Amino acid sequence: MRRFSIVVAGGGSTFTPGIILMLLDNLDKLPIRKIKFYDNDADRQAIIAGACEIIIKERAPEIEFYATTDPKEAFTDVDFVMAHIRVGKYAMRELDEKIPLKYDVVGQETCGPGGIAYGMRSIGGVIEILDYMEKYSPDAWMLNYSNPAAIVAEATRRLRPNSKILNICDMPIDIESRMAKILGLESRKELSVRYYGLNHFGWWTDVRDKDGNDLMPRIKEHVSKYGYVVTDGSAQHSDASWDDAFAKAKDVFAMDPETLPNTYLKYYLFPDYVVKHSNKEYTRANEVMDGREKFVFGECKKIIENNSTEGCAMGIDEHASYIVDLARAIAYNTKERMLLIVENNGAISNFDPTAMVEIPCLVGSNGPEPLVMGKIPQFQKGLMEEQVSVEKLVVEAWIEKSYQKLWQALTLSKTVPSASVAKLILDDLIEVNKEYWPELN
Ligand code: NAD
Ligand code: G6P
Ligand code: MN
């Protein structure tokens, strides 16, 4: 049986150990001969890599493992690049969130001005990794979680249209797991869904079990009362701020009871509520640094100190399972139905064919075969046209180094009240992103 070689780009990510544990748990389904880590921060990566080396030695000593900051070493002889980089790390995420909040505008990792700022940093980083892959392993596939996925996907569509990159998101997966819990089902894999939208900006129109029974009414009844809050939620999205996002889905759902919404729509439909419930001095970035980052790095240091994983509290979650399923779909041509961010090309018939949309696809060795979602209603179409224009303008601004277009992008975002506020935020963002953004003219 063929065994695969994988490089994790952003080896120092807090999500890396979860992915390694997931890969090791599924070696019967996806056999592996080599795992490499690549990061541009050697010290950060060394802690995660030190622990993962011990994990791999304990569970699958036959797998070759090493971590590197050298692109040639990292990207030579690989079948899959699993990427989750964060250009500028949490320090810049904190600024993305806090600068808009200064002006009473949503401060969020991937939505509004913060997401735009992050996009301007990510485009170069993701393209660089894609180019390394194509240079050193031209047959490989890049499976990309790096955010903001909507902007990254539009950038790779524009700049590397023929590259083998698949952009993915775990939010619908978590919500579908919650739907399964609401229904009393074992797993989200028992569901078959129709869904359309942009990344972090979409709606379910149909949820069925494998026998074709319509499950929407029972889910809607729950969501109309509790949003997506379930008693036994995910390990990944378990902090109080996430609970609030799942609860707020109740109000988002009320806007259109025909569909079931993605949690992220709250930032666009209820920005005033979000700002009111934000702490301008302590945002999600602070929560993550004090929570997930401390936990993961703490556990990794313990593993290294003890030279053993005994008592280790790190586990695998749906986030990791999705990227492994995707690799399997490509490796074995499984034609699994998965949500991916792909070029619209008529799948949403009354929407820009060049937009990068999130829709179900059948995934096989040749990549994704998008499924037709048909015509969408005026409300969603209007929202999506505005948001996709923001995303396209950001990519144009990055390519053309255009201040004007970036100002237009910020102004067009539904989270920003006016062109003057957009300008104030933009000028602050430029100041702190000098090291990462192209110089705008
Ligand atoms: P993190 O900061 O812990 O990890 C990111 C790593 O990327 C760091 O070790 C950093 O040094 C490295 N890095 C930064 N720029 C790089 C570059 N140019 N080349 C190589 N490495 C680079 O962040 P995290 O919270 O673990 O998240 C990682 C990424 O995954 C983020 O982009 C996050 O938004 C994304 N994410 C996406 C989804 C999704 O649904 N698409 C879900 C979860 C996380
Ligand atoms: C969800 C989204 C990701 C996002 C993450 C943020 O999983 O799908 O795109 O990066 O949430 O989580 P965090 O815990 O870092 O705020
Ligand atoms: Mn996401």
* Closest residue by CA, ligand 2 atom 15: 288
Contact status, residue 10 vs residue 85, Cβ threshold 8 Å: yes
Give the torsion through C-alpha atoms of 313, 319, 321, 324, to 10 deg.
Answer: -120
Average pLDDT over every residue of 271-293? 98
User: 318 pLDDT exceeds 90?
Assistant: no
Structure tokens at 101: 């909040």
- CA pair distance 120, 97, nearest whole angstrom: 15
CB distance 147 to ligand 2 below 6 Å: yes
Closest ligand (CA of 241): 2
Which pLDDT belongs to residue 273? Answer: 98
* Burial (CB count <10 Å: 0-12, 13-18, 19+), residue 47: middle
Contact status, residue 433 vs residue 117, Cβ threshold 8 Å: yes
Which pLDDT belongs to residue 235? Answer: 79
Could you say which of 118, 132, 196, 264 is catalytic? 264
243 is catalytic: no
Question: Quick one: which atom of ligand 1 is closest to the CA of 296?
Answer: 3
Contact status, residue 39 vs residue 333, Cβ threshold 8 Å: no
Which pLDDT belongs to residue 249? Answer: 98
- CA pair distance 169, 172, nearest whole angstrom: 7
CB atoms within 10 A of CB 440: 18
- CA pair distance 379, 277, nearest whole angstrom: 26
At residue 168, the 3 state secondary structure works out as coil
| Helix or strand run (H / E) with residue 128 | helix 112-136
Integer CA distances (angstroms), 64 to 8, 35, 71, 309, 408, in order: 14, 6, 18, 19, 49
Question: Quick one: which atom of ligand 1 is closest to the CA of 168?
Answer: 41
Span 7-60, pLDDT tens digits: 999 999 999 999 999 999 999 999 999 999 999 999 999 999 999 999 999 999
Task: Using the mean position of ligand 2's atoms as its centre, give its distance from the Cα of residue 61 in Å.
Answer: 32
Average pLDDT over every residue of 255-280? 98
Span 145-203, pLDDT tens digits: 999 999 999 999 999 999 999 999 999 999 999 999 999 999 999 999 999 999 999 99
Q: What phi and psi, each to the nearest 5 degrees, are found at residue 39? A: -155, 160
**Reported confidence tier of residue 410, pLDDT bands at 50, 70, 90:** very high
* Closest residue by CA, ligand 1 atom 14: 87
Contact status, residue 368 vs residue 362, Cβ threshold 8 Å: yes
Average pLDDT, the chain: 97
Task: Using the mean position of ligand 1's atoms as its centre, give its distance from the Cα of residue 381 in Å.
Answer: 31
Sheet holding 191-198, edge to edge: 191-198, 201-209, 260-261
170 is catalytic: yes
Span 242-254, pLDDT tens digits: 999 999 999 999 9
User: 241 pLDDT exceeds 90?
Assistant: no
Which pLDDT belongs to residue 317? Answer: 81
Question: Prior bond to 148 cis, omega within 30?
Answer: yes
Could you say which of 39, 79, 96, 170 is catalytic? 170
Closest ligand (CA of 87): 1
CB distance 341 to ligand 1 below 6 Å: no
- CA pair distance 398, 148, nearest whole angstrom: 14
Q: Which residues are bridge partners to 208 per DSSP? A: 192, 214
CB distance 330 to ligand 1 below 6 Å: no
Question: Quick one: which atom of ligand 1 is closest to the CA of 146?
Answer: 32
Integer CA distances (angstroms), 366 to 130, 164, 183, 335, 381, in order: 18, 9, 34, 10, 30
Place of tokens 């779909």: 329
User: 319 pLDDT exceeds 90?
Assistant: no
Residues 6+ away with beta carbon under 8 Å from 295: 313
Contact status, residue 85 vs residue 126, Cβ threshold 8 Å: yes
**Reported confidence tier of residue 232, pLDDT bands at 50, 70, 90:** confident
Place of tokens 């030579």: 76
CB distance 175 to ligand 1 below 6 Å: no
CB distance 285 to ligand 2 below 6 Å: no
Sheet holding 32-38, edge to edge: 64-68, 32-38, 4-9, 80-83, 141-144, 165-167, 336-343, 356-364, 367-370
Cα within 13 Å of Cα(235), Cβ side: 11
Structure tokens at 411: 């102004």
Contact status, residue 50 vs residue 77, Cβ threshold 8 Å: no
User: Which ranges of 112-235 would DSSP assign to H, the alpha helix?
Assistant: 112-136, 149-159, 171-183, 216-226
Structural Rg of the chain based on CA atoms: 21
Span 40-52, pLDDT tens digits: 999 999 999 999 9
How long a stretch of residues is the chain?
A: 441
Average pLDDT over every residue of 87-101? 98
User: 310 pLDDT exceeds 90?
Assistant: yes
User: 348 pLDDT exceeds 90?
Assistant: yes
Which amino acid type is present at position 273?
Y
Integer CA distances (angstroms), 372 to 103, 188, 335, 389, in order: 41, 22, 16, 22
Closest ligand (CA of 167): 1
pTM of the model: 0.98
Ligand 2 probe mutation, 16, 19, 93, 110, most atoms within 8 A of CB: 110
* b/e 187-226 (16+ beta carbons within 10 angstroms → b): ebebbebbbbbbbbbbbbbebeeeeeeebbeebbebbeee
CB distance 44 to ligand 1 below 6 Å: yes
Percent pLDDT > 70 in the chain is 100
Structure tokens at 377: 């209603």
Which pLDDT belongs to residue 36? Answer: 98
Which pLDDT belongs to residue 229? Answer: 96
Span 385-396, pLDDT tens digits: 999 999 999 999
Q: Which residues are bridge partners to 5 per DSSP? A: 34
Percent pLDDT > 90 in the chain is 96
Which pLDDT belongs to residue 117? Answer: 99
- CA pair distance 324, 82, nearest whole angstrom: 9
Which pLDDT belongs to residue 284? Answer: 98
Task: Using the mean position of ligand 2's atoms as its centre, give its distance from the Cα of residue 419 in Å.
Answer: 28
